[in-house]
């Protein structure tokens, strides 16, 4: 594997140029459709009243937060093994989107649980593991910013992503164990499709698709920006040497 093999950024820029409008358009449509459907046209849950409507934001954001990290993990592996620069830049581009999704999941989860738990923040195992995921995201982004040489930064952040994933999984399990010890937190079953009426499931799936498309659109835009930044850096370096 020659170290300077590269996925062709030019080809990526061309293909992403014509894909982007479609993805953003579709993302907008599905998001609006899913959220309005869920917000306006579904009844209330007999037990939680209208707070169940938060599910249409909380669950997709939570899933996206985890999937974003998994996408970064895959991109890091591709960078470490195949040295595709575009995948390293895609991982860097996905991090801010992932951290925002984690924040959304945290806020909406806390707000949703407030009426039931009586406090704005309960150390519920699920919410806490998103808090931990948030810390991992912070470390990842901070490491990218701390290193000038892009290739060294890509190497280090990829290694951090691999190790971080193992420990995030461990934390997820440890938090379950830890919370049983403290108090029997009301485990709000957020898993979609569980004894939920069809009227809730459909808009939820639409909202989820909307979030996935939003994620893809944002990552595409941000990756293109990262590639342009890399190109700018190369041109400036050439200018300095000329």
Partner 1 sequence: MVELGKYAGTVLGAYGVALGLILGLVWLTLWQGKRMRRRLEATERELGIDG
Partner 2 sequence: MIALLLRDLRLATRAGGGFGLSLAFFLIVTVLVPFGVGPEGGTLARIAPGILWVGALLASLLSLDRIFALDHEDGSLDILVTAPIPLEGAVLVKAAAHWLVTGLPLTLAAPVLAVLLHLPGPGFFWMTVSLALGTPALSVIGTFGAALTVGLKRGGLLLSLLVLPLYIPTLIFGADCARRGAEGLTAGTPLLMLAGITLGALAILPFAAAAAIRANLR
Partner 3 sequence: MARMLELTDISVARGGVPVLQGVTCALGAGQALILTGPNGVGKTTLLRAVAGLQPVLAGQMTRPSEGVAYAAHADALKPTLSVAENLSFWAEIFGTRDIAPALSAMGLEGLRHRAAQNLSAGQKRRLGLARLLVTGRKLWLLDEPTVSLDAAAVALFGAVIRAHLTDGGAALMASHIDIGLSEASTLDLSLFRAAPGGTDAFDEAFA
Q: Which residues bind partner 2 (CB under 8 A)?
A: 132, 135-136, 138-139, 142-143, 146-147, 149, 151-152, 155-156, 159-160, 162-164, 166-168, 170-171, 173-175, 177-178, 181
Q: Which of 96, 65, 81, 59 is nearest to 191 (CA)?
A: 59
Render 99-132 in DSSP notation, one character per residue. HHHHHHHHHHHHHHHHHHHSSS----HHHHHHHH
Which DSSP state fits 188?
-
Q: Which residues inside 13-42 make contact with partner 1, applying CB under 8 A? A: 35, 39-41
Tokens standing for 211? 């979030």
Ramachandran category for residue 194: left, alpha or beta (phi over 0 → left; psi -120 to 50 → alpha): beta
Among residues 172 and 212, whose Cβ is nearest to partner 2? Answer: 172
Does the protein bind partner 3 through residue 150 (CB under 8 A)? yes
CA nearest neighbour of 215 among 72, 53, 77: 72
CB of 29 to partner 3, least distance (A): 34
201, interface contact from partner 3, partner 1, partner 2, none, CB < 5-8 Å by kind:
none
Distances (CA, A) of 114 to 25, 49, 108, 181: 35, 13, 10, 22
**Rule CB under 8 A: which of 67-126 touch partner 3?**
85
The verdict on 159 binding partner 3 (CB under 8 A) reads: no
**125, two tokens:** 């195992």
Q: Which of 40, 148, 166, 191 binds partner 3 (CB under 8 A)?
A: 148
Q: Is 239 in the site for partner 1 (CB under 8 A)?
A: yes
Distance from the first to the final alpha carbon of the chain: 31
Q: Which x/- pattern over 161-200 shows residues binding partner 1 (rule: CB under 8 A)? A: ----------------------------------------
Q: Do 58 and 190 form a contact (C-beta atoms < 8 A)?
A: yes
**DSSP label at 194?**
S
* Residue ranges in contact with partner 3 by CB under 8 A: 3-4, 6, 8-10, 85, 148-151, 227, 230-231, 233-235, 237-238, 241-242
Residues in contact with partner 1 by the rule CB under 8 A = 35, 39-41, 44, 48-51, 53-54, 57-58, 61, 96-97, 100, 103-104, 107-108, 111-112, 114-115, 214, 218, 221-222, 224-225, 228-229, 231-232, 235-236, 238-239
């Amino acid at each position: 594997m020659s170290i300077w093999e590269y996925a062709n950024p030019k080809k990526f820029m061309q293909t992403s140029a014509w894909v982007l409008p479609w993805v953003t358009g579709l993302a907008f449509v599905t998001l609006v459709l899913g959220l309005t459907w869920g917000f306006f046209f579904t009844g209330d849950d007999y037990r939680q009243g209208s707070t169940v409507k938060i599910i249409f934001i909380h669950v997709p954001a939570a899933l996206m937060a985890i999937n974003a990290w998994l996408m970064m993990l895959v991109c890091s592996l591709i960078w470490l093994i195949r040295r595709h620069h575009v995948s390293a830049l895609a991982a860097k581009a996905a991090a801010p989107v992932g951290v925002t999704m984690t924040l959304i999941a945290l806020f909406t989860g806390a707000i949703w649980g407030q009426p039931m738990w009586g406090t704005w923040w309960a150390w519920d195992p699920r919410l806490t593991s998103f808090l931990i995921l948030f810390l991992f995201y912070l470390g990842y982004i901070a490491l990218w910013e701390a290193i000038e040489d892009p290739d060294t930064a890509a190497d280090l952040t990829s290694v951090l992503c691999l190790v971080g994933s193992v420990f995030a999984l461990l934390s997820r399990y440890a938090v379950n164990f830890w919370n049983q010890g403290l108090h029997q937190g009301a485990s709000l079953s957020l898993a979609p499709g569980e004894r939920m009426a069809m009227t809730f499931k459909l808009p939820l799936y639409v909202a989820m698709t909307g979030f996935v498309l939003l994620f893809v659109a944002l990552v595409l835009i941000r990756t293109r920006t990262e590639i342009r930044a890399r190109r700018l850096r190369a041109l400036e370096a050439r200018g300095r040497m000329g």
